[in-house]
């Protein structure tokens, strides 16, 4: 039962008995009213009877008075006559008034009055006669007959009234019985109805109430269960989680967060986030902006600055990787901020080791290719030396010496390139990009020739960037070796180096683009391209080349991206490297610290 | 006694030219080829007593050339030259001798001589030809 239905049922439960009781009261009132009316009718008959009785007595008094006077001729005897005359008139008037509704009695009353007036006329005549004549028998007879007819009429009226009363009485009796029965019946019916109605409604309401109660209980159980579930989940995940309210006060920390920050939940509860989550920049040691502030400012998920170090309560430091996100209410209002972070100290160490191992692998591969490059001219020189020893013809000797010189120059050039590859300055220096890339191409020249790859270069002169030449050489060697492998025999590679203007996101610098005519990189591969240990070359690749390249480029403040090829004759991969003309000066320091950490 | 004829294959033009001079000075007849396919066609069209083959060449490397030669005329000895130390084992197994570039002309001539001598113990084209040339 829903809330409106529940309320309706409650209203019905109260209103219906009231309505029924009002109806019942109305019914009872109506019955009392009819009983009263019947009683009044009875009273009316009684009054009429009483008036008639008195009237009869008064008639007798008058007649008696008249008789006495007839007998004695003493005017004193007329006293009763005199006394009755007034009351008789008033009784007659009363009766006239009372009998207006009863035509039979009204007619009888008129008859009675007529007869009485006749007798009265006779009586008055008698009183004015000579008293001696009064004793005549004829007069007496006449008077008696008149009075008898008055009495007879009165008696008839009395009888009639008595009959009327009897009828009324029986009617009243019947009415009373009927009233009693209907009262009892209606009371019983209403009672039963109310009982049934109330029972039904109370039962429905009670059931619904029970259901509501059990629903609420269940819901609260579910709620506490899901709360427990979420808590357990948050506790169990390997990442550290801190939740704050909008004011930046800590509301929750999971076990990992407690371990990393060194604050127990009880201690941390309600504390400002920056107290519990004390983060500084790895190199500058500057305090990093409070993530709650940043989320509140931006209203979206943020990744915190790289190189963040968390200083735990006990002073221990962890390198962390973290993100912060707003907690939003159903209405979309921000009600808090959740921070997720993890300890990447070990990961960083491993990354450092990987970078070093890739450096070694690159060095190894380079050494092999250099050995190959040097052995060819060395072989020629050794052979020429043998020939020179046995040759006497000066012209032929000169030719041999020229050849030897040619091969020696080649060896020297390769050796110089190799040396510059391993002589790395401590601080970034100005690197002439054309020179750097031509140096890389020189080492790959033979490979390109072997594969008959057509190389197009479009290198703007005088472009310099600040950086570490050996590392940059490593980047372009990687990109070019990949391009050679992708392009395959008789393929094409294009290297373009151009100036990049300062934009909104970056300063001025150079863009180096390496495009090949190979099959291109499928989208599925592309998204993993810069991940460590990702390789498409099977056992031939370490899977670290592009990952390390990206690290190097990023260290220089630049970016490396795979861009979509738009030219049909160079459909393969196209890598674009941006290098800013000036790197951040602090990077020099950063690099050294990283090296020593690794 | 006819001069033994050696087929020399290398994509390094200058190196090849110098090696030819060394071998001729040592008394060999020398045929030269600048890549694998040219070398194979010379191999098919000429009587040779031995082959000096560079491993690292574009398109068709020394391994493929040696395999083809072995299939066609297995009795011809092959010396494989390389600037690489790590040659594939199956290629090393296929040829008679390997030589690292830069070991010097004496080493080259010595190994070539011993290779041809070893082979001459078996019936070979050089013997079959007798002194006809």
Taking the C-alpha atoms of residue A360 and residue A356, their distance in angstroms, rounded to an integer, is 6
For residue A384, the chain B residues in CB contact (below 8 A) are: 18
CA nearest to A406, candidates B21, B15, B101, B8? B15
- The nearest alpha carbon in chain A to B11 belongs to A450
* Chain A / chain B CB contacts < 8 angstroms: 78
With contact defined as beta carbons under 8 Å apart, do A311 and A317 qualify? yes
CA nearest to A485, candidates A438, A518, A520, A533? A518
A residues 364..383 contacting B (CB < 8 A): 368, 371-380, 382-383
* Contact across the interface for B105 and A386, Cβ inside 8 Å: yes
Angle of helix A545-555 relative to helix A469-487, nearest 10 degrees, comes to 140
Looking at 3.40.50.1980, 1.10.10.1100, 3.30.450.20, 3.90.110.10, the CATH number of the domain A237-343 comes to 3.30.450.20
In chain A, which residues fall in CATH 1.20.120.1730? Answer: 3-210
Tokens linked to A335: 């009600």
Strand, helix or coil at B30?
strand
Q: Calculate the alpha carbon distances from A29 to A19, A25, A34, A239, A343 in Å.
A: 15, 6, 9, 83, 90
Tokens linked to A528: 């993993």
For residue A539, the chain B residues in CB contact (below 8 A) are: none
Q: A580 has which bridge partners?
A: A509
**How far does the CA of residue A374 sit from the closest CA of chain B (Å)?**
8
What single-letter DSSP state applies at residue A590?
A: H
Task: Say which of A377, A380, A450 has its CB closest to residue B58.
Answer: A450
- The DSSP H or E segment spanning A365 is helix A345-390
Tokens linked to A33: 């009213």
CA nearest to A147, candidates A73, A58, A87? A58
Tokens linked to A536: 């498409």
Q: Return all residues near B110 (Cβ < 8 A) that are at least 6 apart.
A: none
pTM for this entry:
0.42
CA nearest to A148, candidates A29, A239, A60? A60
- The DSSP H or E segment spanning A107 is helix A103-128
Taking the C-alpha atoms of residue A598 and residue A347, their distance in angstroms, rounded to an integer, is 11
* Contact across the interface for B85 and A373, Cβ inside 8 Å: no
The backbone torsions φ and ψ at residue B80, rounded to the nearest 5 degrees and listed phi first, read -105, 125
Q: Looking only at Cα atoms, what is the longest distance across chain A?
A: 227
- The nearest alpha carbon in chain B to A449 belongs to B58
- The DSSP H or E segment spanning A403 is helix A394-422
Task: Say which of B15, B58, B102 has its CB closest to residue A449.
Answer: B58
Taking the C-alpha atoms of residue A202 and residue B126, their distance in angstroms, rounded to an integer, is 123
* pLDDT of the residue at A355: 75
* pLDDT of the residue at A50: 92
**How far does the CA of residue A433 sit from the closest CA of chain B (Å)?**
29
The backbone torsions φ and ψ at residue A117, rounded to the nearest 5 degrees and listed phi first, read -60, -35
Sheet with strand A509-516: strands edge to edge? A454-459, A492-500, A509-516, A574-580, A559-562
Q: Does A449 touch chain B (CB under 8 A)?
A: yes
Best of A367, A370, A382 to substitute, by most chain B Cβ atoms within 10 angstroms, is A382
Task: Say which of A382, A386, A390 has its CB closest to residue B102.
Answer: A382
User: Hey, where are the domains in chain B?
Assistant: 5-129
Q: Does A21 touch chain B (CB under 8 A)?
A: no
For residue B12, the chain A residues in CB contact (below 8 A) are: 376, 380
Taking the C-alpha atoms of residue A385 and residue B84, their distance in angstroms, rounded to an integer, is 22
Q: Does B25 touch chain A (CB under 8 A)?
A: yes
- The nearest alpha carbon in chain B to A488 belongs to B59
CA nearest to A310, candidates A348, A279, A272? A279
With contact defined as beta carbons under 8 Å apart, do A576 and A513 qualify? yes
3-state percent breakdown (helix, strand, coil) of chain B, nearest 5:
45, 20, 35
* Contact across the interface for A387 and B18, Cβ inside 8 Å: yes
* Contact across the interface for B100 and A375, Cβ inside 8 Å: yes
Q: Does B13 touch chain A (CB under 8 A)?
A: no
**CATH class held by domain A3-210:** mainly alpha
Task: Say which of A377, A383, A450 has its CB closest to residue B105.
Answer: A383
- The nearest alpha carbon in chain A to B25 belongs to A387
Q: Return all residues near A72 (Cβ < 8 A) that are at least 6 apart.
A: none
Looking at 1.10.287, 1.10.10, 3.30.300, 1.10.1760, the CATH number of the domain A345-423 comes to 1.10.287
Q: Does A395 touch chain B (CB under 8 A)?
A: no
pLDDT by residue (tens digit) across B29-70? Answer: 999 999 899 999 999 999 999 999 998 887 788 899 999 999
Tokens linked to A173: 């009796």
**How far does the CA of residue A476 sit from the closest CA of chain B (Å)?**
23
**How far does the CA of residue B12 sit from the closest CA of chain A (Å)?**
8
Q: Calculate the alpha carbon distances from A238 to A120, A203, A593 in Å.
A: 133, 53, 28
pLDDT tens, N- to C-terminus, chain A (598 residues)? 667 777 887 888 888 889 988 998 998 899 889 889 888 988 999 999 999 999 889 988 888 888 888 788 788 888 888 888 889 889 989 888 888 888 888 888 898 889 888 888 888 887 777 666 666 667 778 888 888 888 888 899 999 989 989 998 998 888 889 889 988 998 899 889 888 988 888 888 888 888 889 999 999 999 999 888 888 888 888 889 999 998 889 999 998 999 999 999 999 999 999 889 988 888 788 888 888 888 888 888 887 656 788 999 888 888 888 888 888 888 888 888 999 998 888 888 887 787 777 777 766 766 666 777 788 888 899 999 999 998 889 999 999 999 899 888 888 877 776 666 556 667 788 889 998 898 888 888 888 888 889 999 888 878 889 888 888 888 998 899 889 988 888 899 999 999 888 765 667 889 999 999 988 888 777 777 877 666 666 545 556 678 878 888 888 888 898 888 777 778 888 999 999 888 654 443 444 444 443 3
Task: Say which of B19, B56, B57 has its CB closest to residue A383.
Answer: B19
Tokens linked to A306: 């790289």
CA nearest to A567, candidates A457, A462, A463, A493? A493
CA nearest to A157, candidates A54, A43, A39, A41? A54
Strand, helix or coil at B49?
coil
- The nearest alpha carbon in chain B to A396 belongs to B21
For residue B25, the chain A residues in CB contact (below 8 A) are: 386-387, 390
With contact defined as beta carbons under 8 Å apart, do B64 and B8 qualify? no
Task: Say which of B101, B106, B108 has its CB closest to residue A375.
Answer: B101
In chain A, which residues fall in CATH 3.30.565.10? Answer: 428-597
* Contact across the interface for A387 and B22, Cβ inside 8 Å: yes
Task: Say which of B59, B83, B86 has its CB closest to residue A375.
Answer: B83
CATH fold of the domain at A428-597: Heat Shock Protein 90 (3.30.565)
Best of A365, A369, A370, A376 to substitute, by most chain B Cβ atoms within 10 angstroms, is A376
How many other CB atoms are found less than 10 A from the CB of residue A389? 9
Q: Does A159 touch chain B (CB under 8 A)?
A: no
With contact defined as beta carbons under 8 Å apart, do A152 and A33 qualify? no
Q: Does B58 touch chain A (CB under 8 A)?
A: yes
With contact defined as beta carbons under 8 Å apart, do A336 and A244 qualify? yes
Tokens linked to B115: 């290779």
For residue B105, the chain A residues in CB contact (below 8 A) are: 382-383, 385-387
Taking the C-alpha atoms of residue A572 and residue A569, their distance in angstroms, rounded to an integer, is 9
Q: Does A90 touch chain B (CB under 8 A)?
A: no
Q: Does B79 touch chain A (CB under 8 A)?
A: no
With contact defined as beta carbons under 8 Å apart, do A475 and A553 qualify? yes
How many other CB atoms are found less than 10 A from the CB of residue A124? 11
* Contact across the interface for A450 and B11, Cβ inside 8 Å: yes
- The nearest alpha carbon in chain A to B104 belongs to A382
Q: Output the CA torsion sign for A35, A36, A40, A43.
A: positive
Name the CATH architecture for the domain at B5-129.
3-Layer(aba) Sandwich (3.40)
What single-letter DSSP state applies at residue A134?
A: G
Q: Does B37 touch chain A (CB under 8 A)?
A: no
List the end-to-end C-alpha distance of chain A, in Å, as a whole number.
Answer: 69
Tokens linked to A305: 């600055």
């Amino acid at each position: 039962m829903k809330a409106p239905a529940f309320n309706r049922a409650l209203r019905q439960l109260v209103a219906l008995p009231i309505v029924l009781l009002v109806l019942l009261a109305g019914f009872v009132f109506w019955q009392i009213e009819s009983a009263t009316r019947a009683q009044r009718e009875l009273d009316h008959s009684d009054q009429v009877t009483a008036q008639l009785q008195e009237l009869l007595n008064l008639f007798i008094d008058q007649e008696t008075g008249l008789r006495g006077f007839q007998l004695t001729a003493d005017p004193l005897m007329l006293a009763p006559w005199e006394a009755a005359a007034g009351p008789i008139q008033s009784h007659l008037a009363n009766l006239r008034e009372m009998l207006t509704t009863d035509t039979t009695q009204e007619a009888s009353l008129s008859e009675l009055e007529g007869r009485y007036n006749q007798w009265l006329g006779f009586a008055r005549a008698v009183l004015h006669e000579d008293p001696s004549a009064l004793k005549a028998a004829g007069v007496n007879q006449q008077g008696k007959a008149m009075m008898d007819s008055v009495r007879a009429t009165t008696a008839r009226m009395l009888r009639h009234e008595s009959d009327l009363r009897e009828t009324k009485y029986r009617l009243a009796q019947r009415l009373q019985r009927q009233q009693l029965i209907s009262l009892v019946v209606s009371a019983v019916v209403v009672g039963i109805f109310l009982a049934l109605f109330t029972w039904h409604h109370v039962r429905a309401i009670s059931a619904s109430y029970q259901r509501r109660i059990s629903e609420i209980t269940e819901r609260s159980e579910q709620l506490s269960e899901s709360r427990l579930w979420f808590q357990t989940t948050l506790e169990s995940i390997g990442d550290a989680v801190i939740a704050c309210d909008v004011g930046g006060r800590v509301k929750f920390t999971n076990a990992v967060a407690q371990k990393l920050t060194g604050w127990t939940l009880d201690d941390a509860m309600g504390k400002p986030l920056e107290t519990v989550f004390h983060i500084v920049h790895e190199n500058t040691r500057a305090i990093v902006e409070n993530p709650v502030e940043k989320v509140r400012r931006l209203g979206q998920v943020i990744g915190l600055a790289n190189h963040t170090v968390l200083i735990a309560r006990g002073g221990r430091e962890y390198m962390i990787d973290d993100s912060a996100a707003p907690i939003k209410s159903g209405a979309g209002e921000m009600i808090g901020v959740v921070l997720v972070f993890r300890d990447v100290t070990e990961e960083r160490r491993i990354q450092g080791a990987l970078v070093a191992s890739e450096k070694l692998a690159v060095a190894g591969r380079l050494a092999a290719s250099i050995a190959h490059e040097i052995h060819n001219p060395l072989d020629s020189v050794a052979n020429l030396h043998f020939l020179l020893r046995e040759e006497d013809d000066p012209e032929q000797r000169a030719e041999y010496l020229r050849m030897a010189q040619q091969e020696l120059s080649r060896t020297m050039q390769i050796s110089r390139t190799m040396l510059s590859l391993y002589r790395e300055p401590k601080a970034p220096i100005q690197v002439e990009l054309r020179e750097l890339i031509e140096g890389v191409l020189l080492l790959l020249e033979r490979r390109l020739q072997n594969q008959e790859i057509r190389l197009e270069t479009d290198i703007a002169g005088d472009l310099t960037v600040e950086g570490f030449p050996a590392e940059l050489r490593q980047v372009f060697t990687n990109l070019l070796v990949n391009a050679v492998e992708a392009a395959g025999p008789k393929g094409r590679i294009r290297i373009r180096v151009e100036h990049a203007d300062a934009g909104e996101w970056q300063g001025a610098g150079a863009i180096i683009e390496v495009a090949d005519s190979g099959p291109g990189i499928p989208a599925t591969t592309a998204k993993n391209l810069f991940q460590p240990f990702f390789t498409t070359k099977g056992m031939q690749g370490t899977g670290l080349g592009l990952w390390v390249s990206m690290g190097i480029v990023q260290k220089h403040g630049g970016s490396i991206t795979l861009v979509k090829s738009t030219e049909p004759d160079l459909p393969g991969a196209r890598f674009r490297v941006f290098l800013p003309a000036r790197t951040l000066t602090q990077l020099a320091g950063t690099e050294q610290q990283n090296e020593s950490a690794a | 006694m006819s001069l033994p004829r050696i087929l020399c294959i290398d994509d390094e033009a200058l190196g090849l030219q110098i090696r030819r001079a060394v071998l001729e000075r040592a008394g060999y007849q020398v045929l030269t080829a600048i890549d694998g396919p040219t070398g194979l066609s010379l191999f098919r069209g000429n009587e040779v007593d031995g082959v000096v083959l560079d491993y690292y060449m574009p398109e068709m490397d020394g391994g493929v050339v040696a395999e083809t030669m072995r299939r066609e005329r297995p009795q011809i000895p092959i010396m494989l030259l390389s600037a690489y130390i790590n040659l594939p084992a199956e290629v090393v197994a296929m040829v008679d001798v390997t030589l690292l570039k830069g070991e010097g002309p004496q080493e080259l001539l010595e190994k070539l001589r011993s290779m041809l001598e070893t082979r001459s113990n078996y019936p070979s084209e050089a013997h079959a030809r007798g002194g006809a040339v």
